[in-house]
Structure 1
Amino acid sequence: MNHSNTTRACPVTVRSTRCNYPLHLGASCDRLRWGHADRCELQRLPDAVAASTHLFAMLAVSRAAIDPLLPHWLEHYSRLGIDLTSRAMLVLHAPHCEGSRGLNETLAALRVHGVRQPRMFLETWSSTIKTSLATAYFRQVPASGYLMRADSDEFFAFPCELLAELEADPRGLAVRGTMIDRVAADWSMPAVAPLGARSLSAQYPRRCRFTLCAWEENEDKWMLLPATDARGERVAFKSSASLKRGLALRYLRWAFSHYRFTEAAVALTLRKSEEYSHEGQRESKLRGLASNGRVQHYRWLFKEVFAGRSGAGGGFEISDRMRAKFGHVCAAPFGE
């Protein structure tokens, strides 16, 4: 992918929007340089792709209230052209939420987009279980179709060059994205504003590579996967982040926004940590889960990354230590 620090108008197409999307230019976290991609981003997937794309997601439900990010998430994928009524498997992870306000609000938000009967999942969450569910759903996608597997805080985006690549040869074509963590301008973790009040990009304008550079996790994700590769072989997951070996795939690269640092995300992190620990102590088969790296990661977040804010507003913010050590992997806010 070629990058440039110069700006350019988008090519004339009704499907393109927002040029100069910022992407990292340097691969090293020690020498991260930022610039603007000399390309543009699709506002909506090509009709033929949108009509054959299936979405899988597992959505965490809280008893107290709906995840305020969910209405934005549903609207985003609807705008991309995904038919949430007939081509989506949305699994609600809702243990102990029966009859709660949070579940009722979540179901109401789903109904707005035509999702009437989402699958309920009441057991302890794990990436292994989620991958198993996604794999089973992927097998049901027609051979000519595509799969998106997005978490509820991931907002996939696609480059305009996808149009030309599909026209040239759609066989085995995928899109792989780099995760860009979005952070508020003042480093706080504010509540997500209601849909229609203010765009998410404006609420969280900083773009950071914390996932890779701070906690050394994989920051790349398959955003659009064909059901079959260029040889007609069925595409399948090996794990949550990887595919089975030997597939004949070619792919475009782009970036997507990841909204991890919100007020609700802090509460979800605490809940997951407590849930893993509690279930691991209660059931021997889950003890390994309770002591694995994921739980340690959650605890590390509260110790090193999340800091309580002083003053009347309270809440959390990115800690001074985190900003001092990894602030250089963030792009400063700029007008959109």
Structure 2
Amino acid sequence: MSTSDCIHIVEPGGRGGVYQHVLGAVQKEKYGEFSRVVIHTARDAEITPDLPRTEYCLCMRWQRSGPRGWRTLLTLAWSLAFLLPHLILSSRKSRIEVQGQFGGGLFALIILGSKAIRTPVIFAPHNSFARDGSRLSNGALKMAIEVTDILRLYNSRDFPFIPENRIVRDELSMYIPECSASDTLFWEKKIRKEHRLVIGFIGQLRKDKNPALLAEAVRMSGVAATLVYAGEDKGAVEDLSNVELGSNQDMVVVNGYISLPKLVALVRLVDVIVCPYSISSQSGVAALARELDKPVIASDVGGLGEQAETVFEMTIEPERELAKAIATFAIRSGDRRGA
């Protein structure tokens, strides 16, 4: 089999923005040059839709329950003993594309192993930095960038030092599944929409994403609004309890994993998505919002500005800058209540 017949896409998480992007890219025929597309992902992947010429290899086993140390040990053992050699051998006579940074330095080991047997490698890091900031992860990212054949990038700001002949510029596509009536009803029961602007903050609730900054900005804007936070708490929910909103404002917090159909139902219900992040290359949530024709307000960080209709600066007083952006959006959208 020639290298142009098949591509093996590695995204072992099976849930979240990077996986949803992989599905969206395949759905939009981004890999139309290949007769087979094999997606290597988690055995408990959130969704495995029937896509043209696509096969799923559910080869990653995450230990998602039990003490943290036990989970880490079992997941690492599976990754090194099975996943790593499986991926290298299965893609030997085709091509491999590694999507995202995962497993500490596991993504770099997969790239190195593939290169060792002369398999053409594409790497889509999705961030120009290591999320955990560790020396191991930063070193793995640097190594992966140096040895990979092609980098797939989704904004113009990442890796300006990489020669253009090693870069493929692409759009961050997202898969849009069908939503059930129950998915929509779930949010309608929680959100007070009448006479209020509904602002969505969706995805992992982390401090670097600044959920509390958004709440403070909404209070300062005076706009009649319902703030909806939906995603897994990664240490930021507690900060929201210390924010006081105005009398014409309220907050809904749904802490936990949100299935993709339910996520789509929420994006369709809100009026605007806000991404006030301190550090980011791009946002899967912003890409999803744009797929669904929802406006996005984002900080001018990384490539976020390329995904948003309205961009605000992370200045000395970012709350005020974001408050102005929200008030302006409320006026433009015809909602002048309290703006």
Relative CO higher for 1 or 2, CA cutoff 8 Å, sep ≥ 6? 1
The structure in which a higher percent of residues are helix is 2
Does TM, normalized by the shorter one, top 0.5?
no
TM-score category, normalised to shorter length: 0.3 to 0.5
Superposition TM-score, scaled by structure 2 size: 0.34
